[in-house]
Structures are given as C-alpha cells and as structure tokens.
Amino acid sequence: MSPHILRRYFKATEPEYLPGLERIPALCRAMGNLVLLHWLESRCAALRPALPSAGNRADVLTAVARAGASLGDVQRALADSENGGITPACARELRGLLRDVITDCERAQGMLHAQARARDMTEAAPLFSLDPDGTAAAQARRPWWRFWERR
C-alpha cells in the first residue's frame, strides 16, 4: 500500500474517506496492529440480532450442551491429526471449529444476559426447568422414594 493512500485514510479533512473491506487487512499490516479489524468486528457484532433470553433452565442447559458438543468436535479433529500433525488445512479446520465453540458459548452467554443484569430476586425470578405439565420442577418434585407413584 502506498504511503499516499495510507495518509489519505488519516487526514482529518476527509472524514468520509473510509477503507473498503478488502483494504482493512492491508491497513492493519501497514500500521502493524489489528485495531481496524477489532473495530470492524465490533461493528459487525453490534449488527447481530439480540438473542432471546432463556425462558427456563432447560434452554440454558441445551445451549451449554451444544457448546460442549462443539468443543468435542475440536478434540476429535485434534485426535485425528495425531499421525499427520497439524497441517495448514487442519489448522484452518480447527480454527473454524473453535469459532463454532465461541459462537455457541456466546449464544449461551447471551441467553443469560437479562437474568444476570438483575440485581436480586425482586427483579428476576430464578429459571427452573419445567415438568411436562408446565410446573416448575423444583417446586413440584416428589421425594425420591415415591418415584413409582402415578400422578
């Protein structure tokens, strides 16, 4: 990238001159940092739709189980690479699988955002898993020795 183009991006007199997506990696290399990539990533994150809050404990458990399964995919790919080592193709696959883990973890984290934002029980009730009849499992659970009784 020529110094002339690089200077143009930083002139205070031309605030509308924004780099295209294809220019951002070159600018990062020229500046020796990843500031623009982090900025672009944060802008894209702001455009993502908000995740719905968890309706019950089972939603959270499902999201966490999905993240665990994604991490298991990474472990399997690493185990498969034992004989051949981590080749460039394997590294690309691992990076993609790790991105899936991060996405699944962010989804689980986002589901808990509203609950975690509450200060205490006056602002949010605890999340319970639901029984088939729709009652909270923690409130409707019978003693373990009566498991054979029908409802």
pLDDT tens-digit profile of 84-108? 999 999 999 999 999 999 999 989 9
Higher pLDDT pick, 142 / 6: 6
Backbone angles phi, psi at 129, to 5 degrees: -80, 155
Rounded CA-CA distance 59/52 in Å is 10
Query: Is 150 within the bounds of a domain?
Result: no
Overall average pLDDT of the 7-26 stretch = 68
Contact 28, 9 (CB under 8 A): no
Residue 12 has pLDDT above 50, yes or no: yes
Number of domains present in the structure of the chain: 2
CB 67 within 8 A of CB 97: no
Query: Do 43 and 61 have their domain in common?
Result: no
Instruction: Give the pLDDT score at 76.
Output: 95
- The pLDDT, as a whole number, for residue 138 is 45
Q: Are residues 61 and 39 in the same domain?
A: no
22 and 73 assigned to the same domain: no
Give the up-direction half-sphere exposure of residue 102: CA atoms within 13 A in the CB hemisphere. 6
The three-class DSSP label of residue 150 is coil
Whether 52 maps to a domain, the answer reads no
Domain check: are 43 and 89 in the same one?
no
Please name the amino acid found at residue 50.
A
Q: Are residues 42 and 64 in the same domain?
A: no
- Is 147 part of any domain? no
Q: What is the largest CA-CA distance in the chain?
A: 81
Residues 41 and 68 in one domain: no
pLDDT at 134: 53
Q: What residues make up the domain containing 18?
A: 3-47
In a domain, residue 131? The reply is no
Burial of 67 (0-12, 13-18, 19+ CB in 10 A): buried
Task: Kindly state whether residues 73 and 111 are assigned to the same domain.
Answer: yes
Query: For residues 132 and 124, what is the distance between their CA atoms, to the nearest angstrom?
Result: 23
Residue 148 lies in a domain: no
